[in-house]
Structure 1
Amino acid sequence: MSSAEQLSLSPAEMAPYIQHTRIEAGATREDMIAHAREAVEHGFNAAMVSASWVPLVASELAGTGIEIASALDFPTVGVMTSAGKAAEAEQIAKAGATQLDIGVQVGWLKSGMYAEFREDIAGVVRASGLPVKVMLELPLLTPAEREAAVELAQEAGVAFLKNASSGQIETANAESVRFLVERAQEGVQVKASGSIKTYEQGLSLLRAGAVLLGTSAGLEIITDTGDENTVSY
C-alpha cells in the first residue's frame, strides 16, 4: 500500500491541498478580497481566480506564501487560438499569477492533430514561465485519446495533469485520478477537479494520488459540512 493510500487527515488538515476557487461572472471586488483573505485564514494552497482579478488577489496575498492561480481557455475549453492563449498566459503571469490551469484543444486531439495539440500547450508553458496544469476532459476522450492526451501534455512540459475542467464534465473520482497518477512522469503531479463537495470525497482523491484539489467548496470541506447539495465547481 502506498503512502497516499494510507493518508489520514482531519478536515482542517486538508486545507493545504485545496485550491480555493472563485470564478464567477458576478463576483465583486469585495468578494475577491474576502476570498483571498479566506485563503490566508484557513491555509489553503491557492486562491484560484479569474484572470481579471489576479492583480488584486496577488496584492492581497503578497508575502503570504499562498499561490495565486488562474484559468485560461475556460470554462468553455479549446476555443482560443494558440497565439491568443500564449499571449494571455504571458499577461496573466505578469499580473502576478504563480500557477495557470488551461483548457486543451479536444477537437484537435480527436482530429489526429497531435503536433498542434502539443504545441498549443507548449506555447503557454513557454510564454507564462509558470507551472501549467492541463484540464484533459477525460470523459470526452476514448481510451486511446486519453493515452495520447497524457503523453502529449507531458511532452509539452506541463507540471500537472487534471481530470477535467469542472463538474459539468466530470465529478472528480479516484478512478480518473489513478489513471493520471499511473501515467505521470517524474516531476509531474495530479490535480483533481469537478464537483468536489465533501471531506470524504476530497480524502478519497488524495488517497488515490492527487496532490491538489480544485473546488469552490473549500470552506465546507475543511469544516466537514459539505453534502451532495453543496454548490461546487
Structure 2
Amino acid sequence: MDLDNLQVKHVAKMIDNTVLKPFISNDDWLDICQKSMTYGFKTVAINNAGIAFCKKALEGSDVLVDAAVSFPLGQCTLETKCFETLDAIKKGAGEVDYVINMVELKNKNHDYIKKEMASIVDICRQHQVVSKVIFETCYLTKEEIVQLCQIANDIKPDFIKTSTGFGEYGARIEDVTIMRQYADEGIQIKASGGIRSLREFMAFLEAGATRIGTSSGVKIVKEYQQLKHNL
C-alpha cells in the first residue's frame, strides 16, 4: 500500500465508523449513518439491534452495516453465534465481526476454535458477506495469537481483528505486527480499540492493518484533509 499517495476517499474507506455504546438512541444511529455517508466510510459498526434501522438509513449509499456478533465477550455457544450471524445478515448486515470463544482457546481446545471459525465464516461466505474474527489480543500470549493466525490460515476469513475495544486495552502495533507476520497474505487485518488520531491510524497501516475500527473516524478524516491541504 502506497501510504504517501492515499487520497482522502481511500482513508475513509478503510474506516469502520463505530458506535457500540449501550446507551444510544435512534437519533445516535441516524447521526452516525449520516456522517458515514457524508465522509464515505466503509461501514457503520454497531450492535445488532440497530441493523435494520441503520440499513434503511444508509439506503442509496455504498456504506455497509457491520454487525458485532457475540459482542464483546464471545461467550455464546456456537449455535447461538451461528444464529446471530445469520439473523444479522438477514436484517441487512454486509459485514460481520465475531468474537472468538476465549475460554476454549485458553483450554487449548483448538478444534473448537477451528469449528467455530469455519462455521461462521462459511455462513458469511454463503451470503457474500465479509467475515472478521476478533482475537481480543489484550488477553492473549504471542503463542496464542500465532495459533489463531494458523487456524485462520486454514479457514481463510476475510479479516482477523485485534480487539473489541472493551478489553483491558485495544489495538497495539506489536500485536498487528505478529498477526501480519503469521497470517497468510490474503487475510487482511483490522485494528480497533483506542485509535483516535491520524498519527495512530497511519502507524497501524504501516504495521499491516488495512481496516481501522474507530469512533473517531470523522476526526481522522478531517486531520487527513488538513494534511493534504497543507502539502
TM-score in terms of structure 1 length: 0.87
Deviation at 1:167? 5.6
**Residue in structure 2 matching 1:91, options 87, 90, 106:** 87
Read off the aligned partner of 1:40 and give its amino acid letter.
Answer: M
Answer whether contact 2:131 2:157 (CA < 8 A) is retained. Answer: yes
Q: How many residues align?
A: 221
Residue pairs, 1:121-160, within 5 angstroms: 121-129=117-125, 130-160=129-159
Read off the aligned partner of 2:153 and give its amino acid letter.
Answer: Q
Answer whether contact 1:19 1:214 (CA < 8 A) is retained. Answer: yes
Answer whether contact 2:146 2:179 (CA < 8 A) is retained. Answer: no
Answer whether contact 1:69 1:100 (CA < 8 A) is retained. Answer: yes
2:55 counterpart of 1:58: yes
Tell me what 1:164 maps to: 163
Identity within the alignment, %: 24
In structure 1, stretches of 5+ residues that fail to align are 226-233
Tell me what 2:174 maps to: 175
2:21 counterpart of 1:24: yes
Read off the aligned partner of 1:47 and give its amino acid letter.
Answer: V
Answer whether contact 2:85 2:123 (CA < 8 A) is retained. Answer: yes
Residue pairs, 1:43-54, within 5 angstroms: 43-54=40-51
Query: The residue matched to 1:27 in structure 2 has which SS?
Result: coil
Q: Any idea what the Cα deviations from partners look like across 1:97-129, whole Å, max 9, x if unmatched?
A: 010001001221121211111111222122343
TM-score in terms of structure 2 length: 0.88
Answer whether contact 2:136 2:167 (CA < 8 A) is retained. Answer: no
**Residue in structure 2 matching 1:73, options 64, 70, 87:** 70
Tell me what 1:38 maps to: 35
Q: Could you tell me how far apart the structure 1 residues matched to 2:182 and 2:209 are?
A: 13
Tell me what 1:206 maps to: 205
Deviation at 1:186? 3.9
Read off the aligned partner of 2:114 and give its amino acid letter.
Answer: R
Greater alpha carbon shift after TM alignment, 22-31 vs 194-203:
22-31
Deviation at 1:10? 7.2
Tell me what 2:228 maps to: none
**Residue in structure 2 matching 1:118, options 100, 111, 114:** 114
Answer whether contact 1:86 1:128 (CA < 8 A) is retained. Answer: no
Deviation at 1:66? 1.2
Q: Which runs of 4+ in 1 moved over 6 A?
A: none
Tell me what 2:195 maps to: 196
Answer whether contact 1:167 1:193 (CA < 8 A) is retained. Answer: no
Q: Any idea what the Cα deviations from partners look like across 1:150-205, whole Å, max 9, x if unmatched?
A: 11133233110112221634332322222112222242101101101111100111
Q: In structure 2, do the counterparts of structure 1 residues 49 and 86 end up closer, same or farther at CA, with 3 Å as the change threshold?
A: same
Q: In structure 2, do the counterparts of structure 1 residues 158 and 74 end up closer, same or farther at CA, with 3 Å as the change threshold?
A: same
